[in-house]
Amino acid sequence: MEQKQFKSESKRLLEMMINSIYTHKEIFLREIISNASDAIDKLYFKSLTDTSVGMNKEDFEILIEADKENRRLIIRDNGIGMTKDELENNLGTIAQSGSLAFKTSNELGDDSQIIGQFGVGFYSAFMVAKEVTVRTKAYGSEQAYEWKSEGVEGYTIDECDKESVGTEIILSLKEDTDDEKYTKYLDQYQIQSLVKKYSDYIRFPIKTEVEHTHYDEEGNPGEVHKEIKVINSMLPLWKKNKSELTDEDYTTFYTDKFGDFYPPAAHIHTHTEGSATFDALLFIPSKTPFDYYSKDFEKGLQLYSSGVMIMERCADLIPDYFSFVRGLVDSEDLSLNISRELLQHDRQLKIIAKTLEKSIKSELVKMMKNDREKYEEFYSNFGLQFKFGIYQSYGANRDILKDLLMFNSSFSDKKTTLDEYVSRMKEDQEYIFYACGDSVKRIESLPQTELVKDKGYEILYFTDEVDEFAIKVLIDYNGKKFKSVSDNDLNLETTEEKEESKKQAEESQDMFTFMKETLGDKVNEVKLSSRLKNAPVCLSSSGALSLDMEKVLNAMPQNSDKQVKAQKALELNGSHPIFAKLKALYESDKDMLAKYTKLLYSQALLIEGISIEDPVELSNMICDLMV
Ligand code: ADP
């Protein structure tokens, strides 16, 4: 018997497999089952045109046998088998992709649905087996052959006895180590769960012998019952016709497969043809997963190639802002690289991802229109992602996301979309106004909102830290620019009002200069306010950085040593009694005016929710004034 050498690149690959520290060794079973399914596909296809094959679709099967005594796992199929030459070529060389050659030479088109074209799957058996034996009899030949290998040393091929056409793969499992218990692959539950996980939708039955122990009335174990059971469900739900499926079917599938206790808020089931052909089945969860906002959370969709799962979480299929979506994609035309775990980041995948993104968006828009309450619940679970999505992409995703945003507003206690806001804008209203704060209640009492509200303009309430950052990136919504109520220049006065306040400001200019000098570089300016109605004082900002952005950025731990500073103005209400008092003090008691100035500045900070630098000084000043 002659020992043959593997082709050099096969040998390298084999070495990789044998010494693999790959964490998903269990995929060997998927690979072997896929090969068996391919082989059955070929013979089944032949049987359709050639009656001498003598097989019906129901006759085909894949059998898994766990021979515990000898530590062997055996996978049998009654597919097309291999001739001696094929054994030599297919299992001695990696580059030889038999299924691919078969496909093109026979011009079968897509009908035969041959999984594969990958070229390395079989060798993954060496991740769990110390010896692999392949016994096979090709369709149409009399003689069967046995291929045997213990790994890199090479392989042997000999004649053997085998009754029926098909292939039998015998894996002599490696000895258990501390890290890896290969014995588990002989366990019936393990086998069933691996088949369920990776090969559930192989379209031929995968059978294995299962044992049931019968218990008598007292609970004592009795007879052990053995039975051959089909363990895969064969037809994927996503391959079924939508019209035949009920909501319950989708819900059961979702809760089973993705381990969620709650039914999904929505599902998307699509079949796409064109630049990429694929089926997708996506779900929007109705509750936030417990780890969603932790760093352990991994986004991604399951990826199938013609019904065989090749990747548990393919992150490239889903953008971060839709990371809550669960589901799967099944495509026939993906090119896969060596490990099948790492997909080549190919064009196909990008096209699929783009298509999915659009479907998800339109599903969400539909939910928003048809079931507002549901959308609001969804939004409270996952809406924050959209704002981060806009901000982190510097606005590149604005068109996808801007219509999905919602905010509280002064219009009602329900959330509003930007579209709804704009539709309610007054004729003379130039901007979309917003105000920031920790809570709706707090924002509602901000003095800066007074005049805007008085004019009858609606104000969006930004209560998430990311809100204003996102909106700065968004710049405008359908041509309407965003404006903070704390912005220096709201441009809300009539020409007359402007004249009036200009006059008043000129009259008090010296006092403002004195007050500004008192505050030093704490503010850039002290000025007469055009936005206050009842409150005596407030802060406003000009420039790119707002007061709230200053607050957020300075609170970030990584910024603790480089604090940013917004350009602030201290604004005074000219019609408030305190203003007259200030003017009087400017004439009579500048020391007291300095105290008042500091006090007013501290008040403005407090209203804004910014902590004051020296609370003790403030407290002392108040006491001084009280006695
Ligand atoms: P791939 O399946 O990607 O082609 P593999 O290394 O898994 O690569 O298998 C190599 C080839 O060996 C297959 O293409 C096929 O021709 C042949 N083969 C493997 N398993 C079987 C089987 N059970 N029956 C028939 N042929 C098989």
The CATH-assigned architecture of domain 3-230 is 2-Layer Sandwich (3.30)
The pLDDT tens digits of the residues spanning 43-68 come to 988 888 788 989 988 999 999 999 99
**CA distance linking residue 578 with residue 251, whole number of Å:** 65
**CA distance linking residue 265 with residue 284, whole number of Å:** 6
State the pLDDT confidence band at 494, using cuts at 50, 70 and 90. confident
Provide the angle, in degrees to the nearest 10, between the axes of the packed helices 466-474 and 547-555.
120
- Best substitution site from 35, 60, 91, 105 to test ligand 1's pocket, by max atoms within 8 Å of Cβ? 35
41 lines ligand 1 (CB under 6 A): no
Least confident of 41-55, 77-91, 128-142: 41-55
90 lines ligand 1 (CB under 6 A): yes
Residues of the chain with CATH 1.20.120.790: 491-627
305 lines ligand 1 (CB under 6 A): no
Query: 106 pLDDT exceeds 50?
Result: no
Sign of the Cα torsion 283, 288, 291, 293 reads: positive
Per-residue confidence (pLDDT) for residue 95, from 0 to 100: 37
Per-residue confidence (pLDDT) for residue 109, from 0 to 100: 36
The structure tokens listed for 333 are: 């035309």
The pLDDT tens digits of the residues spanning 138-188 come to 999 999 999 999 988 889 999 999 999 999 999 999 999 998 999 999 999
Q: What percent of the chain has pLDDT over 70?
A: 91
- Best substitution site from 78, 122, 137, 157 to test ligand 1's pocket, by max atoms within 8 Å of Cβ? 122
Task: Identify the residue whose C-alpha is closest to ligand 1 atom 22.
Answer: 36
The answer to whether residues 352 and 435 touch, using CB atoms and an 8 Å cutoff, is no
Query: In 455-508, where does DSSP find H-type helix?
Result: 466-474, 495-507
Q: How many other β-carbons are positioned within 10 Å of the β-carbon of residue 221?
A: 9
Query: 295 pLDDT exceeds 90?
Result: no
Element (H, E) at 489: none
Please identify, by atom number, the ligand 1 atom nearest to the C-alpha of residue 79: 24
The structure tokens listed for 279 are: 């089926």
Task: Identify the residue whose C-alpha is closest to ligand 1 atom 16.
Answer: 98
Please identify, by atom number, the ligand 1 atom nearest to the C-alpha of residue 77: 23
The residue among 169, 214, 215 whose CA lies nearest residue 72 is: 169
The answer to whether residues 606 and 547 touch, using CB atoms and an 8 Å cutoff, is no
Element (H, E) at 512: helix 509-519
**CA distance linking residue 12 with residue 165, whole number of Å:** 32
Sign of the Cα torsion 336, 340, 344, 350 reads: positive
36 lines ligand 1 (CB under 6 A): yes
Mean pLDDT, the chain, integer: 87
State the pLDDT confidence band at 1, using cuts at 50, 70 and 90. low
What one-letter code names the amino acid at 18? I
- Best substitution site from 37, 38, 86, 157 to test ligand 1's pocket, by max atoms within 8 Å of Cβ? 38
Strand-pair category, 266-272 with 278-284: antiparallel
Mean pLDDT of 258-266: 89
The answer to whether residues 406 and 378 touch, using CB atoms and an 8 Å cutoff, is no
Task: Identify the residue whose C-alpha is closest to ligand 1 atom 14.
Answer: 98
**CA distance linking residue 20 with residue 126, whole number of Å:** 9
State the pLDDT confidence band at 9, using cuts at 50, 70 and 90. low
Element (H, E) at 112: none
Per-residue confidence (pLDDT) for residue 197, from 0 to 100: 85
Query: 10 pLDDT exceeds 80?
Result: no
How big is the CA angle at 417 (ends 414 and 420), to the nearest 5 degrees? Answer: 95
Residues of the chain with CATH 3.30.565.10: 3-230
Least confident of 459-463, 509-513, 605-609: 605-609
CATH code: domain 491-627 is 1.20.120.790
Per-residue confidence (pLDDT) for residue 202, from 0 to 100: 86
Mean pLDDT of 433-462: 93
- The winner for highest mean pLDDT among 1-5, 240-244, 593-597 is 593-597
Mean pLDDT of 104-118: 34
- Determine the distance separating the centroid of ligand 1 and the alpha carbon of 351, expressed in angstroms: 30
State the pLDDT confidence band at 271, using cuts at 50, 70 and 90. very high
Strand-pair category, 221-230 with 206-215: antiparallel
Distance between start and end Cα atoms, the chain:
112
> Measured between alpha carbons, how far is residue 228 from residues 30, 79, 188, 206, 211 in Å?
20, 19, 11, 10, 9
Helix, strand, coil abundance in the chain, percent, nearest 5: 45, 20, 35
Q: How many other β-carbons are positioned within 10 Å of the β-carbon of residue 475?
A: 10
What one-letter code names the amino acid at 589? D
State the pLDDT confidence band at 215, using cuts at 50, 70 and 90. confident
- More confident site: 288 or 113: 288
The CATH-assigned architecture of domain 237-370 is 2-Layer Sandwich (3.30)
Mean pLDDT of 384-401: 89
- Determine the distance separating the centroid of ligand 1 and the alpha carbon of 344, expressed in angstroms: 22
- More confident site: 547 or 94: 547
17 lines ligand 1 (CB under 6 A): no
Phi, psi of 14 (to 5 degrees): -65, -45
What one-letter code names the amino acid at 572? L
**CA distance linking residue 477 with residue 404, whole number of Å:** 12
The pLDDT tens digits of the residues spanning 509-566 come to 999 999 999 999 999 999 999 888 888 999 998 888 888 888 888 888 777 777 888 8
Distance of CA 378 to the CA centre of its chain: 15
204 lines ligand 1 (CB under 6 A): no
Residues of the chain with CATH 3.30.230.80: 237-370
CB pairs under 8 A, 24+ apart, for 492-499? 492/451, 492/452, 492/455, 492/530, 492/531, 493/530, 497/530, 498/530
Task: Identify the residue whose C-alpha is closest to ligand 1 atom 10.
Answer: 90
- Determine the distance separating the centroid of ligand 1 and the alpha carbon of 143, expressed in angstroms: 19
Tokens 């039955």 appear where? 205
Sign of the Cα torsion 28, 34, 35, 36 reads: positive
Can you point out the beta strands (E) in 315-385?
326-331
